Amino acid sequence: MINKIHFGKRIASARKRLGITQTELSERLFVTPQAVSKWECGIALPDIEILLELSHMFKITINKLLEDDDLPMELTGKAVSGDGITYFVPEEERDYNLPWVNDIKNQKWISKNWKEAQKENEFMDNVGKMIADEGGVILETGAGPGGGFMPYILKSDPNATVIINDISPTVVREWKAFLDKALDSPSIYYSAFDFCNMPFKDNSIDVISDGGGIGNAEGDKTKALREAYRVLKPGGLLVTATGYVNKETLADIPSSAREILAKKRPDVFEDLYEDTVLAGFKKIDSVISGCWYTEDDDSTIADLARSLGINLKFTSYIRYCRK
Ligand X SMILES: C[S@@+](CC[C@H](N)C(=O)[O-])C[C@H]1O[C@@H](n2cnc3c(N)ncnc32)[C@H](O)[C@@H]1O
Q: Minimal distance in Å, beta carbon 192 to ligand X? A: 8
Cβ neighbors of 12 (< 8 A, separation 6 or more) are: 40, 159
Decide: is 212 part of the binding site for ligand X (CB under 6 A).
yes
Which of 42, 147, 186, 243 binds ligand X (CB under 6 A)? It is 147
Nearer to ligand X, 147 or 186 (CB): 147
Distance separating the N- and C-terminal Cα atoms of the chain: 40
Contact 211, 131 (CB under 8 A): no
Instruction: Fill in the amino acid letter for 31.
Output: V
194 interacts with ligand X by CB under 6 A: yes
User: At 207, phi and psi to the nearest 5?
Assistant: -140, 135
Minimum CB separation of residue 1 from ligand X in Å reads 34
Q: Does 217 bind ligand X (CB under 6 A)?
A: yes
Task: Give the CB-side neighbour count of residue 270, counting CA atoms within 13 A.
Answer: 15
Shortest distance, CB of residue 269 to ligand X, whole angstroms?
19
Mask of contacts with ligand X, 160-189, x by CB under 6 A?
Answer: -----xxxx--x------------------
146 binds ligand X (CB under 6 A): yes
Distance CA 154, CA 87 (A): 23
- Interaction of residue 199 with ligand X, rule CB under 6 A: no
The rounded distance, in Å, linking the Cα atoms of 141 and 210 is 5
Q: In angstroms, give the least distance from the CB of 140 to ligand X.
A: 8
C-alpha pair distances (Å), 219 with each of 44, 73, 75, 89, 194: 49, 26, 23, 14, 9
216 binds ligand X (CB under 6 A): yes
Stretches 46-54, 124-132, 144-152, 302-310: which one binds ligand X (CB under 6 A)?
A: 144-152
> Contact region for ligand X (CB under 6 A) — 42-50, 67-75, 141-149, 287-295?
141-149
Judged on CB neighbours under 10 Å (0-12, 13-18, 19+), 147 is buried
Residues of the shown chain interacting with ligand X in the complex, contacts defined by CB under 6 A: 142-148, 165-168, 171, 194-196, 211-213, 216-219
